[in-house]
Amino acid sequence: MATSSNNSPALLDIAEVSKSFGSVAVLRSVSLQVAKGEVVTIIGPSGSGKTTLLRCVNFLESYDSGSIRIDGKEVGFRPGPARNSGTRQRRSERDLAAMRAETGMVFQSFNLFPHLTAAGNIMLGLTKVRRKSSSEARSIAEHWLGRVGLAHKADSLPAELSGGQQQRVGIARAVAMEPKILLLDEITSALDPELVGEVLAVVKSLAEDGMTMVMVTHEMAFARDASSRIVFMADGGVSAVGPPKEILAAETTNERLRTFLARFRASHF
Amino acid sequence: MGYTLNFNLIWRHFDKLWGGLLLSLELAVISIAIGIVIGLVLAVWYVSAGRVVRAIIAAYVEFIRNVPLILLVYLVFYGVPTVIDLAYSAPTSFVLTLSVYSGAYLVEVFRSGLEAVPRGQLDAGKAIGLTPWQRLIHVRLPTMLRITLPALSNTFISLFKDTSIASVISVPELTYGAQWINFNTFRIVEVYLVTTAMYLVTGYTLLFALRLVERRFRTAR
């Protein structure tokens, strides 16, 4: 079993999480711990449960059993009434919203709010969730737009931005909330190849700042360079975990991983 | 065919038409405003409700859409007061009817708009920690409005024209004014030509104004 790289309790602790869609098991007793400041990359064939696992971390998806804790606090559930020890209840929508504000998420399809400008997209959470004044929110938004190289696009609507620019706004929107963990779900998969670099550069600079990140990606070169550890998922379970060099080595003994990497290299190079 | 057009009598009674047009607009504006409230509340309720509530709202929509408006107008004006002891004027009765009628059409417009809001946007709203109510107000409704504006404009124009049906219960709106002039002057061609022109000009003006609103919402601030 993989443990976090130091002895302090994990910031994110996923323990034996399982989930089925009907009769199809998408997550089979997945366990994973992520320490503060780590960058963990999840790779694996499509349908292996990577995105579902990520969406469970901020409870965009519920899970059937196991637990996910951030800073020791269970994400989607709270213990049931005392007379039924061992049971659990879904948290109230208000609780869930408060807990989700502690994680940031960046989506494959950007998912910017189309009626708000770049700055407006970032300010919405700051004013409504963090209760900041709109002038304070505006200056935070401008700060983060500057960080992602879009200071001059603050007043542009999403429709006026390129895919790469939209995704950088998406990243700024997530990190402006100062989340404990940033979840990145195939954030370059919908981009034209020439726009991938500008988005990955932003992610890299966040990693250097010590942002804790869990990302699903197909950018193997980036995974190798930016990750503390790589998780290989197959059939809804964690098949291998380790440092990038170890996981991406061609001579791995893990049969599934070797097949995945071989197929990946064949189709991408 | 020795019919010569003579508009003199129309102009003499033009106040009937002008006053009628203003009343038509008033009926339409009030009914649509109430209809929007009915439509929004029921549509939001529908998309978040269970099967029973959905069935009840769907039944309301289907009932209204399958019964001619003129029948509903008769039913509310003549039928309801005979069953329950309640008296209201003809204009009030018509506004009541057209509100409920427009509400049913607007539920459909708003519901399909709400369902067309991409799921990713709602996920993004959840991910930054918005509560369900905040997601509705700040994410779902603004996007829904942009999606539905064209359909909304068409519905508004159509409802404005439906005010002509108020003439059957003697509400002195535009069509009633036209009928009055026709009965009293027998200048049938002239009066309906003028009335048609008035509906056309008003309808096009409304449409033009609504298209301006649409364009404003579509492009940058």
The three-state (H, E, C) secondary structure of chain A, written as one string? CCCCCCCCCCCEEEEEEEEEECCEEEEEEEEEEECCCCEEEEECCCCCCHHHHHHHHCCCCCCCEEEEEECCEECCEEECCHHHCCCEEECCHHHHHHHHCCEEEECCCCCCCCCCCHHHHHHHHHHHCCCCCHHHHHHHHHHHHHHCCCHHHCCCCHHHCCHHHHHHHHHHHHHCCCCCEEEEECCCCCCCHHHHHHHHHHHHHHHHCCCCEEEECCCHHHHHHHCCEEEEEECCEEEEEECHHHHCCCCCCCHHHHHHHHHHHHHHC
**What pLDDT does residue A2 have?**
45
| CA A251 to mean position of chain CA atoms | 29
Are residues A83 and A188 both part of a single domain?
yes
How does residue B1 score in pLDDT terms, banded at 50, 70 and 90? low
Q: What are the backbone angles phi and psi of residue A27, rounded to the nearest 5°?
A: -130, 130
Span B49-61, mean pLDDT?
A: 95
Q: Are residues A194 and A167 in the same domain?
A: no
Query: Could you give the CA distance from residue A119 to residue A160 in angstroms, rounded to a whole number?
Result: 13
Any B CB within 8 A of A21 CB: no
- CA B167 to CA B27: how far, in whole Å? 12
Euclidean distance between CA atoms B216 and B209, whole angstroms: 11
Residue A174 and residue A48 share a domain: no
Q: How far is A51 from chain B (nearest CA, A)?
A: 13
**Which residue, among A186, A190, A172, has the nearest Cα to A43 in the 3D structure?**
A186
CB atoms within 10 A of CB B6: 11
B2 in any annotated domain: no
In a domain, B3, yes or no: no
How close A170 gets to chain B, by Cα (Å)?
9
- Residue B70 located in a structural domain: yes
- What is the pLDDT, as a whole number, of residue A269? 54
Residue with tokens 């791995």: A252
CB nearest A111 (choices: B123, B131, B220)? B123
> Between A and B, how many CB-CB pairs are < 8 A?
81
Residue A189 shares a structural domain with residue A172: no
Q: For chain A, say whether B15 makes contact (Cβ under 8 Å).
A: no
pLDDT > 90? residue A82:
no
Tokens of A167: 């995704």
Interface of A with B in 58-87 (CB under 8 A): 58, 60
Structure tokens at A15: 């323990």
**pLDDT band, residue A4 (cuts 50/70/90):** very low
The pairing of strands A181-185 and A103-106 is parallel
pLDDT of residue B67: 95
Query: For chain B, what is the domain count?
Result: 1
pLDDT on residue B221: 39
Polymer length in residues for chain B: 221
| Cβ within 8 Å, pair A97-B129 | yes
Residue at token pair 């993004």: B124
- Residues A176 and A126 sit within 8 Å (Cβ to Cβ): yes
Domain holding B140: CATH number?
A: 1.10.3720.10
Q: Which of A61, A109, A166, A167 best probes binding to B when mutated, by most B CB atoms within 10 angstroms?
A: A109
The radius of gyration computed from the CA coordinates of chain B, to the nearest angstrom, equals 21
Can you give the pLDDT at residue B156? Answer: 94
Structural domain for B197, as ranges: 8-218
Place of tokens 């018509």: B94
Chain segment A112-151, per-residue pLDDT in tens: 999 999 999 999 999 999 999 999 999 999 999 999 999 9
Domain housing A196:
1-102+179-269
| Closest alpha carbon within chain A to B131 | A97
- Counting every residue written for chain A, the total comes to 269
In this structure, what CATH number is given to the domain that contains residue A234? 3.40.50.300
Chain B contact set for A117 (CB, 8 A): 221
- Cβ-defined contact of A114 to B121 (cutoff 8 Å): yes
Contact residues, chain A, for B123 at CB < 8 Å:
60, 105, 107, 111
Per residue in B86-125, pLDDT tens? 888 999 999 999 999 999 999 999 999 999 999 999 999 9
**Euclidean distance between CA atoms B139 and B114, whole angstroms:** 10
Contact check, Cβ <8 Å, B143/A113: yes
pLDDT reading at B178 higher than 50? yes
pLDDT-based confidence at B192, cuts 50/70/90?
A: very high
Mean of pLDDT values over B126-132: 96
Whether B72 has a pLDDT exceeding 60, the answer reads yes
Residues A204 and A96 in one domain: yes
Residue B63 lies in a domain: yes
pLDDT for A226-262, tens place per residue? 999 999 999 999 999 999 999 988 777 888 898 888 8
Query: B216 to chain A: nearest residue by CA?
Result: A115
pLDDT at B186 over 90: no
Chain B: give the shortest CA distance to residue A92, in Å: 10
Q: Structurally, how many domains does chain A consist of?
A: 2
Q: Is B116 on the interface with A (CB under 8 A)?
A: no
A192 and A144 housed in the same domain? no
Q: What are phi and psi of A15, to 5 degrees?
A: -125, 110
| Gap from B36 CA to chain A (nearest CA, Å) | 21
Residue B100 lies in a domain: yes
Neighbours of A113 (CB within 10 A): 20
Residue B5 DSSP one-character state: -
Looking at the structure, do residues A55 and A147 belong to the same domain, yes or no? Answer: no
Q: Which residue has the tokens 């929004």?
A: B40
Q: For an interface test with A, which of B117, B119, B126, B128 has the most A Cβ atoms less than 10 Å from its Cβ?
A: B128
Average pLDDT, chain B: 92
Q: Which helix (H) or strand (E) holds B34?
A: helix B14-48
Q: Does B218 touch chain A (CB under 8 A)?
A: no
In this model, does residue B204 exceed pLDDT 70? yes
The residue among A5 and A174 whose pLDDT is bigger is A174
The verdict on A84 and A208 lying in the same domain is yes
CB proximity list for A129: less than 8 A, separation 6 or greater? A97, A101, A177, B128, B129, B130, B134
Same domain, yes or no: A236 and A123: no
Q: Which among A94, A128, A160 has the least Cβ separation from residue B220?
A: A160
* pLDDT interval class at A102 (50, 70, 90): very high
- CA A113 – CA A158 distance, rounded (Å): 8
Give the end of a domain, one of A159, A178, A197: A178
- Alpha-carbon distances of A139 from A4, A103, A112, A166, B221, rounded to whole Å: 36, 21, 19, 19, 20
Cα–Cα dist A115/A71, whole Å: 35
Residue B22 has pLDDT above 90, yes or no: yes
Same domain? A141 vs A228: no
Interchain contact A124–B (C-beta under 8 A)? yes
Return the pLDDT at A1.
Answer: 43
Q: Is the same domain home to A221 and A96?
A: yes
Q: Same domain, yes or no, for A79 and A211?
A: yes
- Provide the 3-class DSSP secondary structure of residue B29: helix
Query: Among A151, A178, A205, which residue terminates a domain?
Result: A178
Question: Is some CB atom of chain B closer than 8 A to the CB atom of A127?
Answer: no
- Boundary-marking domain end, from A145, A178, A211: A178
* A190: contact with B, CB 8 A cutoff: no
Six-digit token string for B87: 């008296």
Q: Alpha-carbon distance A177 to A93, whole Å?
A: 19
Say if residue A7's pLDDT is above 80: no
Cβ-based contacts of A155 with chain B (< 8 Å): 221
What value of ipTM does the predicted structure carry?
0.90
Chain A positions in Cβ-Cβ contact with residue B130 (cut-off 8 Å): 97, 124-125, 128-129
Residue of B nearest to A54 (CA): B127
Distance CA A172, CA A145 (A): 6
Using a CB–CB cutoff of 8 Å, tell me whether B134 touches chain A: yes
Confidence of residue A81 (pLDDT cuts 50, 70, 90): confident
In a domain, B1, yes or no: no
pLDDT above 90 covers a percentage of chain B that reads: 76
Cβ–Cβ gap A173/B142 under 8 Å: no
